[in-house]
């Protein structure tokens, strides 16, 4: 994006004056504050749509957050059990009170199962300061803060892509009104993983444009790396697949551009940042024996490690997918009923069409690849009851695409592919 496109009208020499820059920054900050207010209101509305805010996973996140504040283990157990019961989770043990039943259930869980959660501390680490100050309400406030941050970053992404104020606020609204909004308002890791992924995508957008300084590219590459790692530490199924997918897509694009016009520094930095995020997590997983895909498959096929490990988890996954997808695709196609329209599929098709209509190829590819990782997550964990949660990031390109069409851009969307006639960034 050229400088004059970034800051609106410019003098005849094409360079913005200092007052222009200040006014543009003020407008940007005010727009993001408006997105924060809108996101807060919509988050509260989504919170109130269903009485159950906590799930079994919530117990482990809350317990870890409490222990991070220095709470003794036994008290952390009670804290987590009270929280999930007060937030609508039914007792895991029939005929036993919710708090007592939850504590019994948790005590019976094998250490291998517990370690799946303790090795992904991003959500709990973010919530710990809130828990220290506000107690049980701290988990709710931390989740709300992460969700509102995701809404603000969705607005920022649209502004970076050339959208105006209406488009940016539409992005925030869509994030909470689409199925993403439900899971962002539950006491789970989705809010944090989505916010950190959006932070990485916001940093990636300027790297898609030719031009810029080496220092700026390195700073943006560092932000991409940090966002991807934060998302991975919060929810590996989101962050790691996103890192790997973006590495593959932009490595191919970088090599293609090299054949036509030589190396493009922004694409190189973006590819390297995504590749380093992938390599760092895989290296840490191997060095620290962090549970990975194979361990989560064993968890699935051994019913939370209550049975002996299976010798063939990967062939079983293939077989499970073969049985899972026909029914799941039917549900998405027509809601499971003959001739019934599927709003899920319609929204996806319209959203992806809007994405590629409203954005230049590279930007559309960035968000489309992000959305595709939602399907990859479901392939790795084919479970009908959690399908909408597992494919959560598939809605991010829909959010961006529809937002860019719903609002009139403040300026023409830049041709970030750098075709003749487009000023450099």
Torsion region of 70: left, alpha or beta (phi above 0 gives left; psi -120 to 50 gives alpha): left
pLDDT of residue 340 exceeding 60: no
CA 349, 355, 360, 365 dihedral sign is negative
Its pTM stands at 0.90
Q: For residues 287 and 242, give the distance between their C-alpha atoms in angstroms, rounded to a whole number.
A: 22
Please, where are the H alpha helices in 209-301?
A: 214-234, 236-261, 265-288, 293-301
Q: What are the structural domain ranges in the chain?
A: 30-47+142-406
Cα angle 210, 395, 284 (rounded to 5 degrees) comes to 70
Rounded to the nearest 10 degrees, what angle do helices 136-160 and 396-406 cross at? 50
Banded model confidence at residue 4, pLDDT cuts 50, 70, 90: very low
User: Number of helices (H) and strands (E), helices first, in the chain?
Assistant: 20, 0
Q: Is residue 11's pLDDT more than 50? A: no
Please report the pLDDT score of residue 14 as a whole number: 55
- Binned at pLDDT 50, 70 and 90, residue 416 comes out as very low
Tokens found for residue 75: 């008290």
Across 5-9, 19-23, 145-149, 243-247, least confident range = 5-9
Sign, CA torsion 321/323/325/331: negative
The closest of 35, 216, 52, 194 to 126, measured between CA atoms, is: 194
Tokens (6 digits) for 42: 């919509």
20 token code pair: 């222009």
Tell me the per-residue pLDDT of 264-323, one tens digit each, with 9 for 90 and over.
899 999 999 999 999 999 999 999 999 999 999 999 999 999 999 999 999 999 999 999
Q: How far, in Å, CA of 82 to CA of 7, rounded?
A: 51
* Predicted local confidence at residue 409, as pLDDT: 52
Over the chain, what is the mean pLDDT? 89
Average pLDDT over residues 177-204: 97
If one compares 134 and 407, the residue with the highest pLDDT of the two is 134
Per-residue pLDDT, averaged over 337-353, amounts to: 75
Q: How many CB atoms lie within 10 A of CB 260?
A: 7
| Chain position carrying tokens 């920022």 | 156
Q: Residue 154 half-sphere exposure, CB side, CA atoms within 13 Å?
A: 37
Please determine, for residue 391, whether its predicted confidence score (pLDDT) is greater than 80. yes
Residue 15: the pLDDT is 64
Q: Indicate the range of 14-18, 103-107, 197-201, 363-367 predicted with least confidence.
A: 14-18
User: Does residue 417 surpass a pLDDT of 60?
Assistant: no
Mean pLDDT of 163-185: 95
């Amino acid at each position: 994006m050229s400088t004059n496109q970034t800051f609106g009208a410019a003098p005849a020499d094409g360079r913005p004056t200092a007052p222009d820059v200040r006014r543009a920054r003020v407008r940007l900050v005010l727009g993001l504050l408006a997105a924060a207010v809108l996101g807060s209101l919509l988050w509260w509305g989504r919170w109130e749509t269903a009485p159950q805010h906590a799930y079994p996973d919530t117990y482990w996140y809350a317990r870890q957050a409490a222990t991070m504040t220095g709470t003794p283990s036994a008290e952390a157990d009670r804290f987590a059990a009270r929280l999930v019961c007060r937030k609508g989770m039914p007792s895991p043990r029939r005929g036993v009170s919710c708090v007592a039943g939850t504590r019994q259930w948790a005590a019976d869980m094998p250490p291998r199962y517990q370690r799946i959660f303790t090795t992904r501390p991003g959500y709990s680490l973010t919530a710990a300061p809130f828990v220290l100050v506000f107690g049980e309400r701290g988990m709710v406030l931390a989740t709300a803060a992460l969700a509102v941050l995701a809404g603000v970053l969705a607005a920022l992404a649209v502004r970076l892509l050339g959208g105006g104020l209406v488009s940016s606020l539409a992005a925030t609204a869509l994030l909470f009104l689409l199925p993403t909004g439900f899971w962002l308002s539950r006491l789970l890791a989705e809010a944090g993983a989505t916010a950190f992924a959006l932070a990485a995508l916001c940093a990636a957008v300027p790297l898609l444009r030719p031009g810029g300084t080496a220092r700026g590219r390195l700073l943006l590459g560092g932000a991409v790396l940090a966002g991807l790692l934060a998302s991975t530490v919060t929810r590996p199924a989101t962050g790691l697949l996103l890192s790997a997918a973006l590495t593959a897509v932009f490595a191919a694009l970088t090599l293609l551009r090299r054949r036509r016009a030589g190396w493009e520094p922004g694409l190189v930095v973006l590819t390297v940042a995504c590749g380093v995020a992938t390599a760092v997590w895989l290296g840490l997983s191997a060095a620290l024996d962090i549970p990975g895909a194979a361990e989560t498959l064993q968890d699935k096929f051994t019913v939370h490690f209550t049975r002996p490990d299976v010798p063939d988890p990967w062939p079983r996954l293939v077989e499970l997918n073969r049985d899972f997808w026909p029914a799941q695709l039917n549900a998405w196609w027509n809601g499971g009923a003959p001739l019934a329209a599927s709003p899920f599929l319609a929204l996806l098709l319209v959203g992806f069409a809007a994405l590629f209509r409203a954005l230049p190829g590279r930007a559309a590819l960035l968000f489309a690849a992000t959305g595709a990782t939602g399907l990859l997550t479901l392939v790795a964990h084919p479970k009908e009851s959690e399908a909408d949660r597992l494919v959560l990031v598939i809605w991010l390109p829909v959010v961006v695409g529809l937002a860019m069409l719903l609002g009139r851009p403040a300026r023409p969307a830049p041709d970030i592919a750098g075709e003749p006639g487009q000023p450099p960034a």
